[in-house]
């Protein structure tokens, strides 16, 4: 069993981007991070994105509107950033407070600045295999993990657990693409799927993004499979100072001995998401500058 080290692969990508950005003349790439409210996970994610941008040499601007901002005012803020020629990428941190319409906010972003890859146009470009768009960061990170760990999907059965717009649907589309490293045969399972285990047992590559702690157990996995665990779940644990431990959607201790390769949680997919956001920002800058 080989552990796919997301921290190392993400660090490699960040180092590559730093070299690229250092060579740019004139202004550096700029990303604006908009965080509404004080969701603890969002606070932590935005800090991580800010630090990674600084490490690469990307300018990051943090905007913290009031948690009571109206939809109209949020959309006006996005419009202003869309029109700002010094801004290459814009990220509106999810989740937004309940009174705001999150999909509408994402759609308001100019597609060519949507470095999170959630705009309708960018998701459509993934479906059309058009590389000029932006791929959502977690699915893009998953494909990098597979490629850089030597896992070619060609002719292999890829089973995706979960159908979210953030992970499940786009990663299934990426695995299907007629491109080097992809060309997989894809099955998507979700809450309406009957006998999920009978399908996951057929997977040469299993991508677990169902958001349920330790859902995938040893009896659901084919020996020798490659497993990408996207889940980040907090499970109560009295032995930890925080009172909880982080676990994925896969029961790691029982499943990992059966696999040929597996990502850990934490330290697998998570670090890749931020690295791919930065990669998208540099791509936006280059398209903007050309």
For residue 289, pLDDT beyond 90 = no
Q: Please give the full DSSP string across 126-165, using - where no structure is assigned.
A: HHTT-TTS---HHHHHHHHHHHHTT---TT-EEEEE---T
Question: Catalytic amino acids?
Answer: 49, 93, 116
- CATH 3.40.50.720 domain range(s) in the chain: 137-270
User: Which residue intervals of 167-268 are DSSP H helices?
Assistant: 168-176, 196-200, 252-255
The residues, any chain, with a CB within 8 Å of residue 79's CB and separated by 6 or more, are: 108
Q: What residues are paired with 233 via a beta bridge?
A: 247
Q: What residues are paired with 32 via a beta bridge?
A: 61, 90
- For residues 221 and 137, give the distance between their C-alpha atoms in angstroms, rounded to a whole number: 26
Helix, strand or coil, per DSSP, at residue 63: strand
Which token pair is 195?
Answer: 């006998």
Give the global pTM.
Answer: 0.95
Task: Compute the chain's Rg from CA coordinates.
Answer: 19
The residues, any chain, with a CB within 8 Å of residue 253's CB and separated by 6 or more, are: none
H or E stretch including 122? helix 120-127
pLDDT tens-place string over residues 47-98 = 999 999 999 999 999 999 999 999 999 999 999 999 999 999 999 999 999 9
The predicted structure's pLDDT at residue 290: 77
Confidence tier at 180 by pLDDT (50, 70, 90):
very high
pLDDT tens-place string over residues 94-114 = 999 999 999 999 999 999 999
The predicted structure's pLDDT at residue 40: 87
CATH number of 24-110: 3.40.50.10860
Q: Please give the full DSSP string across 93-113, using - where no structure is assigned.
A: PSSPPTTS-HHHHHHHS-GGG
pLDDT tens-place string over residues 221-263 = 999 999 999 999 988 999 999 899 999 999 999 999 999 999 9
Say if residue 274 is exposed, middle or buried (CB neighbours under 10 Å; 0-12, 13-18, 19+): buried
In percent, the amount of the chain with pLDDT more than 70 equals: 100
Across the chain, mean pLDDT equals: 96
For residue 41, pLDDT beyond 90 = no
Q: Decide which of 3.40.50.970, 3.20.20.70, 3.60.21.10, 3.40.50.720 is the CATH code for 137-270.
A: 3.40.50.720
- CATH 3.40.50.10860 domain range(s) in the chain: 24-110
- For residues 202 and 131, give the distance between their C-alpha atoms in angstroms, rounded to a whole number: 30
The residues, any chain, with a CB within 8 Å of residue 252's CB and separated by 6 or more, are: 214, 229, 262, 264, 265
pLDDT tens-place string over residues 130-154 = 999 999 999 999 999 999 999 999 9
Which token pair is 272?
Answer: 């890749």
- For residues 217 and 51, give the distance between their C-alpha atoms in angstroms, rounded to a whole number: 36
173-177 average pLDDT score? 98
């Amino acid at each position: 069993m080989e552990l796919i080290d997301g921290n190392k692969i993400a660090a490699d990508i960040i180092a590559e981007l730093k070299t690229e950005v250092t060579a740019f003349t004139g202004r550096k790439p700029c990303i604006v991070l908009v965080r509404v409210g004080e969701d603890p996970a969002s606070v932590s994610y935005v800090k991580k994105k800010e630090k990674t941008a600084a490490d690469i040499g990307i300018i990051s601007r943090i905007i913290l509107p009031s948690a009571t901002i109206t939809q109209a005012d949020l959309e006006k803020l996005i419009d202003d950033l869309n029109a700002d020629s010094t801004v290459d990428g814009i990220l509106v941190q999810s989740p937004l407070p309940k009174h705001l319409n999150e999909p509408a906010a994402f759609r308001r972003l100019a597609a060519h600045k949507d470095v999170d890859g959630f705009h309708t146009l960018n998701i459509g470009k993934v479906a059309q295999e058009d590389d000029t768009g932006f791929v959502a960061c977690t699915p893009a990170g998953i494909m990098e993990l597979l490629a850089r760990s030597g896992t070619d999907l060609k002719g292999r059965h890829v089973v995706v657990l979960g159908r979210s717009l953030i992970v499940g649907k786009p990663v299934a589309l990426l695995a299907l693409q007629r491109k080097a490293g992809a060309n997989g045969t894809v099955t998507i399972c979700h809450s309406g799927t009957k006998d999920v285990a009978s399908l996951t047992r057929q997977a040469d590559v299993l991508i677990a993004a169902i958001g349920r702690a330790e859902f995938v157990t040893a009896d659901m996995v084919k020996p020798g499979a490659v497993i990408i665990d996207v889940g980040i779940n907090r499970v109560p644990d009295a032995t930890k100072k925080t009172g909880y431990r982080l676990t994925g959607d896969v029961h790691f201790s029982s499943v990992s001995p059966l696999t040929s390769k597996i990502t850990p949680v934490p330290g697998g997919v998570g670090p890749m998401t931020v690295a791919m956001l930065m990669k998208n920002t540099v791509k936006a800058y280059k398209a903007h500058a050309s």
